[in-house]
Amino acid sequence: MAIEKRGKINYSWNFSQDYNTAATATTHQERGLWAFDHCAVFSLPQRRLLLKSRHTDSRLVVSSEVFQVLQFCRQFRTLEEHMAVVKRMNPALAERQSEISQIFNKFIEQGFMISAKTLVTKLQHKERNFSQSPLFGILARTCDRPKSLARLIKSFAENEHHHGQRYRYFVVDDSRSLENITKNQALIEQAKKKEGLEIYYHGWSEQQKLIAALLGAFPEHEESIQWLLGKNTENGRFSGGRLWNYMMLLTAGKRFLAIDDDMVCQPRLAPDHQNRLEVSERPREVRFFLDRDDLLTNTTVSPIDPIEQHADVLGRSMGAAAHHFSAVKLEEQSFKDFRREQMDALRADSKILLTQSGILGDPGTVSTDWIYELEGEARSQLVESLESYQVLRASRYLWLGTSSFHFLPDTSLLSTLSGVDNQQMLPCTSPYFRNEDHLFGGLVKALYPTSLALEFPWSLLHFPESERVWNQAVLDKPENVGALGFLTDITSNAMKNCYANHAWQRLTFLAETYLGLANGDVAVLEAGIEENLLHARVGKVNRLQAQLDAYQGQPSYWAEDIKRLLQAGSNALVSRENRLIPDAAPDSGRTDQVVLVRTLLRQLGGALKVWPLLWRFCQENTWD
């Protein structure tokens, strides 16, 4: 093995070299967490590859066999854990652990294995002379649920009384029923008089004032303004995104919290709550409960003020937030399983643009087929017995969240208490269709690739007024991707080719991407929608099969349900079905569904182009 100067090819490494067995058996194992560096890869003759580190600019040549081993090492783990993964993924290398160990050490020496300690050092930064702007208020979205709204407002009053704090609240109403609108207005007046809350009602008349002001300033953009904010009672579609867009303009240049009307502002500690910091893309944790009483009995009310904790760190840098919580600190173990590819976007000054708490009660998802991909304690709890399994798999009473303070590179917002830093321009979302929050999260990351979300180790209660029931027939249906899910996938793929730094430039790039797709050939768009759907379904099939393979000793009732999902997914892979977009009318043909997506791309693309003008106008004017 020859080592040359930096800037040249450093060495060539493969499994065919003659190792000294005695020497390799005692190879020193570096401690700590390590991950294979993010590299550019170039093919060479004789099944060799040139690797160029994007971190150190070092270069080396390896065999394709060695590169395959390194592909299993992209998350921060101990070297022993990496070796165990390699052995599991490629049993043929089980007898070559000494060689793999020496390769790891050589890669560490040459700077191609990155230590998590490097991240800790990189992120140790405290803000100086930081001035946090006051919280604009707590904005509650409501739509024809006055009983739920009354419960939420009561919990606001109780939270203020308990903590001796005063906040400002805005109820943003999308109710269709005049009766419910009248009830909501009465609730606001009652809360002012009896509870002493500073609370304001923003119904359709208040929303129209903002729309009129925007139309007066930008009459040439009437179509986009009406699409983003106007009411369209004819299509009957879910319009949660319309209220969200109004809230983003109402708060332009400010920080605020958002909450849905069927929440209860009473924080409860996460099961197995831990005072530690974590940085990862790990899925949210889950704990099941038999019913509402079981949930309330077996969770602990938290002493913290949920509003205050959001406000304390929202908009701060990661380095400052990590120092804010006195009981925790950023350390090497905080990065366990974090992917190396995300490291470059992680900085001490990475802003926390979104904050999030967990949810106790209904998870807010359309189905719960995702429970079959659970790991660890959650999966063990689910399959403990047939009796509990039959109850828990249909239960809408669970905990979904994190047991630690959890930094995430991106997030899909839950319908709980969320913090939004709108001091710099955040994007709009689609006013129609479900998953408007998922699309919004994807757009935030597109505009601010180094931004973070922070999830807290406590949750709020989520008890919808009408209890939802999970239909077991979903086990016989394949994975689906809604219209906004498709747009989110387009966003993440397109932004890989965007190198602009300014958020407005990045937004323009994305808008043109949407408009380009909308103006393209219908057949090409149809093929793209179908391929995206197939990609999602193949991913689901692979994950479910991996569960069956990994847990062969699990109960048959669990395995049979997974097999039903697998069968539905597998059948959908080989049949050309009519339904591409679940949001479309049930009797619509493929062409109509593609036209729906095409129209949505054109509308959102056009709206994104004018959004900076609307946002800045609202920032410069006061609407509260």
Residues 259-290 pLDDT 10s: 999 999 999 999 989 888 999 888 899 999 99
CA-wise closest residue to 112 among 151, 178, 61? 61
**488 and 442 Cβ atoms separated by less than 8 Å:** yes
Residues 352 and 444 in one domain: yes
Sign of the CA dihedral running 139, 140, 144, 147? negative
Q: Is the pLDDT of residue 29 over 80?
A: no
Residues 177 and 198 in one domain: yes
Distance of CA 588 to the CA centre of its chain: 31
Helix, strand or coil, per DSSP, at residue 43: strand
Residues 234 and 148 in one domain: yes
Beta strand ranges found along 131-262 (DSSP E): 135-142, 168-173, 198-202, 254-260
Residues 148 and 98 in one domain: no
221 or 276, greater pLDDT: 221
Give strand pairing partners of 342. Answer: none
Residue 6 has a pLDDT of: 42
- What does the DSSP 8-state code read for residue 31? P
Beta strand ranges found along 167-212 (DSSP E): 168-173, 198-202
In the block, which residue shows the tokens 């913090």? 419
Q: Which two tokens stand for residue 361?
A: 């009660």
Whether residue 580 is contained in a domain is answered as no
pLDDT band for position 544 (50/70/90)? very high
12 or 119, greater pLDDT: 119
What is the average pLDDT score of the chain? Answer: 89
- What does the DSSP 8-state code read for residue 425? P
Q: What is the mean pLDDT of residues 90-98?
A: 79
Q: Is the pLDDT of residue 201 over 90?
A: yes
> How do residues 316-325 score in pLDDT, each as one tens digit?
988 888 877 7
Helix, strand or coil, per DSSP, at residue 269: strand
pLDDT band for position 10 (50/70/90)? very low
**How many whole angstroms separate alpha carbon 157 and alpha carbon 14?**
67
The gap between the terminal CA atoms of the chain, to the nearest Å, is: 70
Whether residue 513 is contained in a domain is answered as no
The domain boundary, picked from 123, 149, 174, lies at 123
Distance of CA 301 to the CA centre of its chain: 26
- Return the C-alpha torsion angle 128, 130, 313, 406, nearest 10: -30
Residues 42 and 104 in one domain: yes
Residues 312 and 419 in one domain: yes
Helix, strand or coil, per DSSP, at residue 493: helix
Whether residue 326 is contained in a domain is answered as yes
Q: Is the pLDDT of residue 475 over 90?
A: no
Whether residue 361 is contained in a domain is answered as yes
**544 and 565 Cβ atoms separated by less than 8 Å:** yes
DSSP state letters, 512-526: HHHHHHHTS-HHHHH
CB atoms within 10 A of CB 617: 16
Residues 106 and 158 in one domain: no
Q: Is the pLDDT of residue 579 over 70?
A: yes
**How many whole angstroms separate alpha carbon 3 and alpha carbon 109?**
11
**How many whole angstroms separate alpha carbon 432 and alpha carbon 91?**
49
Helix, strand or coil, per DSSP, at residue 378: helix
192 or 339, greater pLDDT: 192
Helix, strand or coil, per DSSP, at residue 301: strand
Burial 47-86 (b: 16+ CB within 10 A, else e): ebbbbebeeeebbbbbbeebbebbebbbbbbebebbbeeb
What are the distances in angstroms from CA 108 to CA 62, 343, 427?
A: 15, 17, 41
113: Cβ contacts below 8 Å, ≥ 6 apart: 34, 35, 36, 37, 73, 104, 107
Residue 295 has a pLDDT of: 96
In the block, which residue shows the tokens 């909501």? 184
Q: How many domains does the chain have?
A: 2
Burial 514-551 (b: 16+ CB within 10 A, else e): bbebbeeeeeebbebbeebbeebbeebbeebeebeeee
**How many whole angstroms separate alpha carbon 220 and alpha carbon 390?**
57
Give the chain's radius of gyration (CA, Å).
26
Residues 106 and 193 in one domain: no
pLDDT band for position 129 (50/70/90)? low
The CATH number that applies at residue 28 is: 3.90.930
> How do residues 476-491 score in pLDDT, each as one tens digit?
999 999 999 999 999 9
Q: Is the pLDDT of residue 17 over 60?
A: no
Residues 117 and 140 in one domain: no
Whether residue 354 is contained in a domain is answered as yes
**605 and 511 Cβ atoms separated by less than 8 Å:** yes
What proportions of the chain, in percent to the nearest 5, are helix, strand and coil? Answer: 50, 15, 35
Q: Is the pLDDT of residue 23 over 60?
A: no
Whether residue 220 is contained in a domain is answered as yes
- Return the C-alpha torsion angle 175, 437, 300, 295, nearest 10: 70
**171 and 142 Cβ atoms separated by less than 8 Å:** yes
Q: Is the pLDDT of residue 157 over 90?
A: yes
The domain boundary, picked from 65, 90, 123, lies at 123
> How do residues 365-420 score in pLDDT, each as one tens digit?
877 889 999 998 999 999 999 999 999 988 889 999 999 999 998 877 777 899 99
Query: Domain span at residue 220?
Result: 135-507+602-619
Residues 108 and 182 in one domain: no
Whether residue 544 is contained in a domain is answered as no
Residues 95 and 168 in one domain: no
**165 and 305 Cβ atoms separated by less than 8 Å:** yes
Percent of the chain predicted with pLDDT > 70:
93
Residues 107 and 48 in one domain: yes
457: Cβ contacts below 8 Å, ≥ 6 apart: 269, 270, 273, 274, 275, 358, 401, 402, 403, 404, 405, 406
What are the distances in angstroms from CA 566 to CA 280, 369, 540, 561, 571?
A: 29, 11, 8, 9, 8
The domain boundary, picked from 123, 147, 180, lies at 123
CA-wise closest residue to 229 among 431, 481, 91, 491? 431
Whether residue 67 is contained in a domain is answered as yes
